[in-house]
Structure 1
Amino acid sequence: MSTTPPTGPLVTRADLVADLRATGVEPGETLLVHSSLSALGWVCGGTVTVVQALLDALGPDGTLVVPSQTGQLSDPALWAYPPVPEEWWELIRATMPAYDPDTTPTRGVGVIPETVRTWPGALRSAHPQTSFAAIGPGAAAILADHARDCRLGERSPLARLEKAGARVLLLGAGYDSCTSFHLAEYRIPAPLVEVGRPGPDGWEVVTEVWIDSDRFDELGYDFERDHGIRRAGVGAADVRLFPVADAVAYAERWLPLHRPREEEISGPARLGTRPRT
């Protein structure tokens, strides 16, 4: 057990609500939150307090949305953190449990989304790798009909969030986690990939659009500069707040100029994908 004293500041639910409102979070809005608990400081009550504060700031008419991705439901041949022996691959493909929105845990999106996913009344979308979870009166409409062959495109919650005028809150998280940029990848020429994952009837392979967040930090820097995005603070964390639609529109212009097609094809695999040849 660690004997290292915690680092501050000490942050309470009331502190978080006050900071969120000062940042510009409005009651009744729909908010897509990417988060880092550790960036906030020492939060009294941990993830539960953070979710409570977000719901307080949004009020009863607001809707909280988070990514609840499950990248572990992917082809073991492409795992790297850590890899598994090649002789295990076929058995893993044959025995890996299929996605269940009620029981499959999130992975790679932080601990706050897992708390949202299990919150009373929370809903979750149907995609087996790139689902979203939400709480609030707008949750059902945003999450409905998330197509199994459309991770983050027009038939995903991202497009509905854009249409609904939702905003993104980067709560101690960087632009590398800004999923809204991925919607732009579906609107520009992009290569297709084969995505392997466990399905309800066994291992399945579907064709999808290639997605890659490797340069999203650079994209986000330019977006923030050109749109005058104001940085604020919640607890000890840096935060940014901006419309989903603005992020998508900017990425649609930025990506074709800064990420040539050859780079997309040769880039590292994401969420169990391999480029088609």
Structure 2
Amino acid sequence: MSAVARHLPLGGEHLAAQLHALGVRRGGVLMVHASMRAAGGGTGDMAHALSRALGSGGTLVVPSFTPENSDTSRAYLDRVRGLDEEAGAAVRAAMPAFDPRVSPAPTMGVLAEAVRLAPGARRSGHPQTSFAALGPAAARLLAGHRPDCHLGEDSPLARLYDADAQVLLLGTGFDRCTAFHLAEYRRPSPPRRRYRCVVAADGGRRWWEYEDVALDDGDFARLGDDFARARTGAVASGRVGAAPSRLFPLRSAVDFATGWLAEHRPEAR
């Protein structure tokens, strides 16, 4: 039984066979973005199927992002649109402080939460863009996630690149492909902006402000479509459960995206 499977519910043999047919590597590293609504079936069965497909020595990685604790996030701006200053201040005051040990990541989906909550799971420490992982490489992949580097060279994405990880989009589109963000950091002089979030500190909470690359996923769907057309041999397509899914090497996706962004975002060259 794999290191991942020991901590997840039993089930999902048919799903594991679908994952093998798609090309998930035994003993490899796999980052998953999943919509269980699209896939159907039970979250536990899917999590176990992923662990069975990875086999002994494999490591499963999921995003466990927390935009809920930031007043510079899209989620916050959508929430306070139309509110007066007092109501906006009340929303900020009620924001939960990020604590990597306990903070949920509700917008990442039920499969990501199942992995985050599994016994033995590790989580990186970034207060906005943490990752969770299960498996023998989890600690190494998640170590050193600098709190002022969302998704760049000092984040798990760069470690996943070095590990030649695969990416599985399970019922989700390229617009959810976090790997493309690493390419934003690899452009010369990418645009930067200020971010602010609330974090746990000394039994209480405090606001923390920092500068980082200005992340923009607005063109990722188009980028992904071009990647799939240009790298047809790299992108495998098939169904996992009921969900149309794609599997591809993270390294190929980032390398393609780095060139694509230079061409399609010329202002950031």
Q: TM-score normalised by the shorter chain: which range applies?
A: 0.7 to 0.9
Aligned to 1:183: 182
Q: Tell me the TM-score normalized by structure 2.
A: 0.87
Aligned to 2:17: 18
Runs (4+) off by over 3 Å: 88-97
Aligned to 2:80: 83
Aligned-pair CA distance for 1:88: 3.2
Query: How is 1:140-151 mapped onto 2 (pairs within 5 angstroms)?
Result: 140-151=139-150
Aligned to 2:45: 49
For 1:89, give the aligned amino acid: G
- Residues 1:214 and 2:255 are matched in the alignment: no
Aligned to 2:240: 234
- Percent of residue pairs identical: 48
Q: Distance in 1 between matches of 2:254 and 2:191?
A: 19
> Does 191-200 or 80-89 show the bigger shift?
80-89
> Is the 1:71–1:107 contact (alpha carbons within 8 Å) kept by the matching residues of 2?
no
**Structure 2, gaps ≥5 residues long:** 1-10
- Residues 1:167 and 2:166 are matched in the alignment: yes
Aligned-pair CA distance for 1:231: 1.2
For 1:121, give the aligned amino acid: G
Q: Deviations over 1:23-42 (max 9, x none)?
A: 1112100001111101113x
Q: Distance in 1 between matches of 2:229 and 2:65?
A: 29
Q: Tell me the TM-score normalized by structure 1.
A: 0.85
Q: Deviations over 1:102-152 (max 9, x none)?
A: 211103222110111001111100000000000000000000111000000
Aligned-pair CA distance for 1:240: 1.1
Q: Distance in 2 between matches of 1:236 and 1:81?
A: 32
> Is the 1:76–1:89 contact (alpha carbons within 8 Å) kept by the matching residues of 2?
no
Q: Distance in 1 between matches of 2:73 and 2:61?
A: 31
SS in 1 for 2:154: coil
> Is the 1:152–1:182 contact (alpha carbons within 8 Å) kept by the matching residues of 2?
yes
Aligned-pair CA distance for 1:176: 0.6
**Structure 1, gaps ≥5 residues long:** 1-11, 265-277
Aligned to 1:255: 261
Cα 1:101/1:238, change in 2 over 3 Å? same
Q: Distance in 1 between matches of 2:216 and 2:158?
A: 18
Q: Paired residue for 1:223, among 222, 227, 232?
A: 227
More helix by share: 2
Aligned-pair CA distance for 1:181: 0.3
Aligned to 2:7: none
Q: Distance in 2 between matches of 1:256 and 1:208?
A: 19
Q: Paired residue for 1:202, among 206, 210, 225?
A: 206
Cα 1:168/1:77, change in 2 over 3 Å? closer
Q: Distance in 2 between matches of 1:174 and 1:99?
A: 28
For 1:218, give the aligned amino acid: R
Aligned-pair CA distance for 1:101: 1.2
Q: Paired residue for 2:54, among 51, 58, 61?
A: 58
Aligned-pair CA distance for 1:77: 8.3
> Is the 1:76–1:83 contact (alpha carbons within 8 Å) kept by the matching residues of 2?
no
Q: Distance in 2 between matches of 1:77 and 1:129?
A: 9
Q: Aligned residues, how many?
A: 249
SS in 1 for 2:15: helix
Q: Deviations over 1:178-235 (max 9, x none)?
A: 1110001011132111001013361121011100111100000000000002311111
> Is the 2:72–2:197 contact (alpha carbons within 8 Å) kept by the matching residues of 1?
no
> Is the 2:72–2:195 contact (alpha carbons within 8 Å) kept by the matching residues of 1?
no
> Is the 2:129–2:151 contact (alpha carbons within 8 Å) kept by the matching residues of 1?
yes
For 1:19, give the aligned amino acid: Q
